[in-house]
Amino acid sequence: MSAPLLPPRPAAYADPPRTSVWIHVLLFVATFFSAALASALGIGADLVADPGAITVGFPYAITLMAILFAHEMGHYTLARVHRVDATLPYFIPAPPIFFIGTFGAFIRMRGAPGDRRALFDIGAAGPWAGFMVAVPALVVGLHLSEVIPTPESEMSGLFLGDSILMRQMQSAILGVDPETATVHLHPIALAAWVGFLVTALNLMPVGQLDGGHVVYALLGEVWHKWISRGTVVGLLILGLGGWPGWLFWVALLAAIGFRHPRTGEATIGLDRSRLILALLTVVMFVLVFMPEPLFERAEPIVLPAGEWIEV
């Protein structure tokens, strides 16, 4: 008697080629040094005259890699718990012109989660694990950061945007209002800022991003489709009216696609504990999302009468 035919596996879960563990290790090391290099150059180290000065970028690189590693291992660990075959994390180095020093990391699943509960656990575990590392890193980093008074902070240049959580923690730890002072972030705090940005980008409720997994697990296929499309429209509006970088994300998400493959069992919804955690995940997204991650401040010109305008 022949065995029953198994349903075809969704394309998104097609078997990726298996790679040696050394590929993952080498990518991790390469990304660590690309992050350290970006940080050292940002601090102003002369790596041509003194290549050893790259070590000044190690606090940033260690912190950032800890956040990324925790994020990806959160996904990996819960995938293993739910017996979903998954790869170890692939870390992606970036050229030093990209000040973050990395394009992030990812894992690939070799099978579909058995149901929406497993999908939620795998999808939400990464952001929560990274978040749990980023928050204490920010506390440490802010204590080491420098506050620049208002007269000195009124200068031109490119500045980092703030999330709700970032603003509240600066106020609580440093006792400053970001509107009246500029906080020169220590590299550890900068890595935490990047960690929040990575968490927010991953939690956008679109397609197969972590946020897309959460929405699909929470609300099902139909709501996931419309929320994905609505989110992209919102990003398009933000890109046209604020930070142009969102337009790149709109193009990237459109290329990746908004569809989410079905789980093995689509009718089993989330239980009460997972519903609560899903709502808390939405709250986390709101707290770390930055409408304008980067913005340019113009230098004020003082007029003879003492008035000033913005260039």
The pLDDT tens digits for 37-49 are: 999 999 998 888 9
Give 242's contacts (C-beta < 8 A, 6+ positions apart): 291, 292
In this prediction, residues 174-193 reach a mean pLDDT of 86
In this prediction, residues 102-119 reach a mean pLDDT of 90
Q: Shortest CA distance to 102 belongs to which of 18, 190, 184?
A: 190
In this prediction, residues 5-27 reach a mean pLDDT of 62
The residue type of 300 is: P
* 183 within 8 A of 192, measured Cβ to Cβ: no
Domain boundaries, the chain: 16-295
Question: What is the pLDDT, as a whole number, of residue 8?
Answer: 37
| Single pTM value for the model | 0.86
Question: What is the pLDDT, as a whole number, of residue 262?
Answer: 83
Q: Shortest CA distance to 116 belongs to which of 238, 213, 212, 41?
A: 213
Mean pLDDT is lowest, of 137-141, 162-166, 238-242, 303-307, for 303-307
Question: What is the pLDDT, as a whole number, of residue 272?
Answer: 93
Question: What is the pLDDT, as a whole number, of residue 1?
Answer: 40
Question: Which pair of tokens denotes residue 8?
Answer: 């075809």
Would the pLDDT of 177 be above 80?
Answer: no
Sort strands 308-310 and 102-106 into parallel, antiparallel or unpaired: unpaired
In this prediction, residues 207-218 reach a mean pLDDT of 94
pLDDT band at 225 (very low <50, low <70, confident <90, very high): very high
